[in-house]
Amino acid sequence: MEESSDKQSPSVKLPRLYAIVDAETIASRGIGLKAFVQELRDGGVTLLQYRDKQGSKDQILENAGVISEIFSATTATLVMNDSPELAAEAGWSAVHVGQGDVAVAKARQALSTGSLVGCSTHTPEQVSAADAAGADYIAIGPVFATSSKLNPEPVVGLEGVRQARSLTRGPLVAIGGITLQNAASVIEARADSVAVIGALLQPGERPSQLVRAFLDLLSR
């Protein structure tokens, strides 16, 4: 592999809102994947990650196909969580890996040229390592307490976001417990984008309306 293929692309620019579709979360709330993803598209989501920790390979690929079809008429970037192989099989050009997943360089090898590789981090040391590995964007968190994971890492707070910002010049995504009430403070802490899961699943609120509310807030 040529050295340049391991380096993050200087042209990567993330939208302010990074929507995450977590299969377990929507299932636990009795929400259908297709209807939810359609709402996200209609609200204006342009960066979406599909996360499914429990589904079989066939189930994940089937759901990825549904998401692909819904977003087929858009220019949205679709990101597969954990598995670059499943991303490639789904025809997606982006993958997000965690600390226990495949290394950034290996993830990039499994995808086509120009693909996007993001990496989750929870400590300054992990941020520096992901940056050195050439991750196209780095996610830091959880910023606030979150219920979207069974065993979340310790909260890093806004100071953790600011510290991560000082360690990388690449795009920085903040994740974990982010809501309409605290999203602005995360951007003020110099995150480029906020990843949102539960905040798009509020009782009595259409996800498309919540997406628009986030986009309006984050565009100010």
Q: Which residue has the tokens 């509020």?
A: 202
Instruction: Please determine, for residue 5, whether its predicted confidence score (pLDDT) is greater than 50.
Output: no
**Catalytic pick among 83, 115, 120, 208:** 120
3-state secondary structure the chain: CCHHHHCCCCCCCCCCEEEEEEHHHHHHCCCCHHHHHHHHHHHCCCEEEEECCCCCHHHHHHHHHHHHHHCCCCCCEEEEECCHHHHHHHCCCEEEECCCCCCHHHHHHHCCCCCEEEEEECCHHHHHHHHHCCCCEEEECCCCCCCCCCCCCCCCHHHHHHHHHHHCCCCEEEECCCCCCCHHHHHHCCCCEEEECHHHCCCCCCHHHHHHHHHHHHCC
Q: What is the pLDDT of residue 7?
A: 47
75-86 mean pLDDT: 97
Whether 149 is a known active-site residue: answer yes
Residue 105 has pLDDT above 80, yes or no: yes
Any idea which of 26-35, 92-101, 143-152, 154-163 has the lowest mean pLDDT?
Answer: 143-152
**CA 172 to chain centroid:** 11
pLDDT value at position 29?
Answer: 93
Catalytic residue among 7, 149, 162, 190: 149
pLDDT at residue 67 above 60? yes
Query: Does residue 82 carry a pLDDT above 90?
Result: yes
Q: Which of 51, 83, 115, 208 is catalytic?
A: 51
Q: What is the CATH number of domain 14-117+174-213?
A: 3.20.20.70
51 is catalytic: yes
Domain positions in the chain are 14-117+174-213
Percent of the chain's residues with pLDDT above 70 = 94
- The string of pLDDT tens digits covering residues 43-53 is 999 999 999 99
pLDDT band for position 202 (cuts 50, 70, 90): very high
| pLDDT 10s digits, 145-184 | 987 666 779 999 999 999 999 999 999 999 999 999 999 9
Question: What average pLDDT does the segment 49-61 reach?
Answer: 97
- Band (64; pLDDT cuts 50, 70, 90): very high
Name the amino acid, one letter, at 158.
L
With a cut of 80, say whether residue 116 has pLDDT above it.
yes
pLDDT at position 113: 86
pLDDT number for residue 3: 35
In this structure, what is the dihedral angle of CA atoms 119, 219, 142, 151, given to the nearest 10 degrees?
Answer: -90
Residue 112 confidence (pLDDT): 86
